[in-house]
């Protein structure tokens, strides 16, 4: 089956659902770069949005879709970076050209383009860097310099180190084990980079702990942070409520906000990082609709 044979099942509100043939599935470090035929997506998608894929085939018991940031788009295809992290993603990494995957895209809110010329720092953790190369082109087209920081536990867990130089004005690599670039996390190089470039905008995608740290560094240096959160999105369209995060609204009140439709990109300073730890999300006591704690009475 070719790209022209992809079957569009439904469209609406700028979203396409397609039975997309796999065009290629290539290794990319410790990840796979999956290309699916999705006609028309290039006119709809923008950096920071994501795609939701079915997994396991038509007879599988794996019912929930898996969501991935869009790496880049073409006139008739979409590229996604897949980490083999469980049964669903393992199935995707084994797909071959001609296999068919149902995809819904583009979903969510993308990165806001630069408001004025200057410098922008982009920070990617692991394969969270996938959407940043595409966004870097948007940044540079707006007359801004794009400086990229890539971080991961080791060299193999980086994505895009070989692509970065062609897409950005400078590249800075960190690895926890020192196998490539500076030893340490992205925050080891971020403060100096902000000072050297005068950047007032930081865009980040990666693990939640990294996003919190990047937000704190950006705020301390007078910069604003946009963060694309990595929350599990079981439906991708705002129905299941499994991806909610505590986010402060324009009125100063915290609400449990759906990452899939209201995000995945949020202002980093609006996310209640104090309620997120070790992969768990708590409902702050002051959140709108939070149930009051019941008084504790004497033991009976």
Query: Any idea which of 209-218, 271-280, 286-295 has the lowest mean pLDDT?
Result: 286-295
Nearest of 193, 188, 184 to residue 119 by alpha carbon: 193
Say how far residue 62 (Cα) sits from the centre of its chain.
Answer: 22
pLDDT in tens, 173-185: 999 999 999 999 9
Rounded Cα distance between 252 and 270, Å, is 9
CA gap 183, 189 in Å, rounded: 10
Distance CA 32, CA 81 (A): 6
H-helix or E-strand containing 73?
A: strand 66-73
Instruction: Enter the pTM of the model.
Output: 0.90
Identify the pLDDT of residue 41: 86
Percent of all residues in the chain with a pLDDT value above 70, rounded to a whole number: 92
CB proximity list for 212: less than 8 A, separation 6 or greater? 268, 271, 273, 276
In 3D space, the residue among 256, 257, 255, 258 whose CA is nearest the CA of residue 236 turns out to be 258
Query: Long-range CB contacts (< 8 A, 24+ apart) of 141-146?
Result: 142/113, 142/114, 142/117, 143/114, 143/117, 144/114, 144/117, 144/118, 144/119, 144/120, 145/118, 145/119, 145/120, 145/169, 145/197, 146/119, 146/120, 146/122
> What's the token pair of residue 94?
């084994």
pLDDT in tens, 188-244: 999 999 999 999 999 999 999 999 999 999 999 999 999 999 887 878 888 888 899
pLDDT band at 112 (very low <50, low <70, confident <90, very high): very high
Task: For the chain, list the domains and their CATH numbers.
Answer: 3-107 (2.40.30.10), 119-281 (3.40.50.80)
Nearest to 176 by CA among 149, 209, 154, 148: 154
Tokens (6 digits) for 5: 């044979």
Pick the closest to residue 282 from 270, 292, 271, 274 (CA basis): 274
125-154 burial by CB neighbour count: b if 16+ within 10 A, else e? bbbbbbbbbbbbebbbeeebbbbbbbbbee
Q: What's the confidence (pLDDT) of residue 12?
A: 54
> What is the chain's length?
300
Residue whose C-alpha is closest to residue 101's, from 68, 144, 141: 68
**Which residue in the block uniquely carries the two structure tokens 């193999």?**
156
What is the chain's percent helix, strand, coil content, to nearest 5? 25, 35, 40
């Amino acid at each position: 089956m070719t790209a022209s044979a992809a079957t569009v099942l439904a469209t609406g509100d700028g979203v396409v659902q397609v039975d997309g043939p796999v065009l290629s599935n290539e290794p990319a470090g410790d990840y796979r770069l999956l290309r699916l035929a999705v006609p028309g997506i290039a006119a709809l998608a923008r950096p920071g949005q994501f795609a939701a894929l079915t997994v396991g085939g038509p007879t599988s018991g794996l019912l929930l879709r898996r969501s991935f940031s869009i790496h880049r788009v073409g006139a008739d295809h979409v590229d996604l970076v897949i980490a083999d992290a469980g049964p669903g993603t393992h199935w995707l990494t084994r797909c071959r050209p001609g296999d068919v995957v149902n995809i819904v895209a583009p979903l969510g809110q993308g990165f806001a383009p630069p408001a004025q010329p200057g410098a922008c720092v982009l920070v990617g953790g692991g394969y969270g860097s996938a959407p940043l190369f595409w966004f870097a082109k948007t940044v540079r087209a707006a007359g801004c310099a794009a400086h990229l920081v890539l971080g991961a536990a080791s060299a193999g867990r980086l994505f895009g180190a070989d692509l970065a130089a062609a897409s950005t004005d400078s590249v800075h690599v960190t690895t926890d084990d020192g196998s490539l670039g500076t030893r340490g996390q992205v925050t080891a190089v971020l403060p100096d980079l902000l000072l050297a470039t005068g950047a007032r905008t930081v865009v980040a995608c990666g693990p939640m702990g990294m996003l919190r740290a990047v937000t704190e560094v950006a705020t301390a240096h007078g910069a604003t942070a946009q963060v694309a959160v990595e929350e599990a999105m079981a439906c991708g369209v705002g129905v299941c409520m499994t991806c909610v995060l505590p986010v402060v609204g324009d009125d100063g009140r915290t609400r449990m906000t759906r990452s899939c439709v209201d995000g995945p990109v949020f202002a980093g300073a609006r996310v209640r990082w104090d309620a997120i730890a070790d992969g768990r999300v708590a409902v702050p006591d002051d959140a709108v609709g939070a149930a009051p704690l019941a008084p504790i009475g004497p033991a009976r």
